[in-house]
């Protein structure tokens, strides 16, 4: 019990630390750390808090979230929104967009953690492939676009991010192939 509470406090502390200016400004200086470090960590914090919610809360939410559909819809809306270059710029320029970002990404992580296990395995597979394809598409897009998408970031940043996304996507694909070809587990990468 004590351990559990302690872990939640740690997560909250991490959340606050990310929100405080030194770390926040440091991570938002570059598109790469903004999109591949800050936002994923926020989502993971949300995911872990979601995991450790009391069981009766989870049950209440689950009755609104059969097969995880509602939560996935919410997560996808949030994800799509923050994929708009405009939205990312706004988060840097306006404090209230930044606040919305911190809250919604956290909620996204939480709703993913509450919904993913409820999702049909086939649907999980489709989502995984779609996420993977999004990695590859965005990576390619960032490498090929002649102009900057975000007014607050440099073109070179965008290029590096593109390369990292393609690299990450490829690594993911290779890992997946190994798991299914030779592993003994049912698809759950």
Partner 1 sequence: MRTFLATTLIVIAGLLILWISTDGGRAYTVEEARRLEVRENPRPIPNWRLQNQDSEMIALHDFRNQFIVIDFFYTSCPSVCLILGSSLKELQKDFSSELEKNNLKLISISFDPEKDTPQKLREYLSHFSANLKYWMAARPTSSSQKEAILDFFKVIVIPDEYGGYTHSAGYHVIDRTGRLVAIFGIEQLNELKEYLTQSLNKEHVQQD
Partner 2 sequence: MSSTAVVNRKIEYSESENRNALIAVKAHLILGLAVLLLMMLAGLTMRAVQGTWLEIGADLFYQIMTVHGVGVVGAAGIGSTGVLWYFLRQYVRLSNTIFWINFFVFVAGVVMLLGSIFLGGYGGAWTFLYPLPGKSMGVWSTGAAAVFQLALLIIGTGFLILYLDMGRGILASFGSLSKALGLPQLFGRVPVDTTHPPTVVAGTMVLIVNFLGIAAGAVVLVMGLINLYNPEFQPDALLMKNLIYFFGHVFINATIYASVTAVYELLPRYTGRPWKTSKVFYAAWFAIVFMVMAVYPHHLMMDFPMPRWALIVGQVLSFGSGIPVLVVTGYGALMIVYRSGIQWSTTTKLLFLSMFGWAAGVIPAILDAMVTVNRVFHNTMWVPGHFHFYLLLGLLPMMFGFIYHLTGEGRQGEQPKAADNLGFYAYLIGAFLTSMVFLASGANSIPRRWATHMAEWVTFAQVGTVAAALVVLGMLVFTFRALFSLPKAAEPR
> Which residues contact partner 2 by CB under 8 A?
121-122, 125-126, 129-130, 132-133, 136-137, 140-141, 144-147, 180-187
| Minimum gap (Å) between residue 81 Cβ and partner 1 | 6
Is residue 66 at the binding interface for partner 1, with CB under 8 A as the rule? yes
Q: Which does 19 bind (CB under 5 to 8 A by kind): partner 1, partner 2, none?
A: none
| Minimum gap (Å) between residue 49 Cβ and partner 2 | 30
Q: Which does 140 bind (CB under 5 to 8 A by kind): partner 2, partner 1, none?
A: partner 2
> Where do runs of H (alpha helix) occur along the chain?
2-19, 21-28, 31-33, 39-51, 55-62, 69-82, 85-93, 95-115, 121-144, 155-182
Q: Which of these, 31, 57, 43, 64, lies nearest to 109 by C-alpha position?
A: 43
Q: Which does 18 bind (CB under 5 to 8 A by kind): partner 1, partner 2, none?
A: none
What separation in angstroms does the CA of 147 have from each of 81, 154, 179, 183?
21, 10, 38, 43
């Amino acid at each position: 019990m004590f351990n559990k509470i302690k872990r939640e406090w740690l997560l909250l502390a991490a959340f606050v630390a990310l929100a405080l200016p030194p770390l926040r400004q440091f991570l938002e200086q570059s598109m790469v750390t903004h999109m591949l470090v800050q936002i994923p960590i926020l989502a993971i914090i949300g995911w872990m808090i979601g995991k450790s919610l009391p069981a009766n809360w989870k049950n209440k939410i689950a009755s609104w979230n059969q097969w995880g559909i509602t939560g996935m819809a919410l997560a996808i809306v949030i994800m799509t929104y923050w994929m708009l270059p405009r939205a990312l710029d706004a988060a840097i320029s306006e404090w209230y967009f930044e606040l919305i970002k911190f809250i919604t990404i956290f909620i996204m992580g939480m709703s993913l953690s509450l919904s993913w296990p409820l999702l049909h395995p086939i649907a999980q597979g489709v989502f995984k492939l779609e996420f993977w394809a999004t990695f590859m598409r965005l990576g390619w897009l960032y490498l090929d676009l002649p102009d900057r998408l975000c007014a607050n970031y440099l073109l070179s940043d965008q290029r590096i991010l593109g390369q990292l996304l393609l690299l990450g996507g490829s690594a993911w694909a290779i890992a997946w192939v190994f798991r299914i070809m030779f592993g003994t587990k049912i698809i759950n990468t």
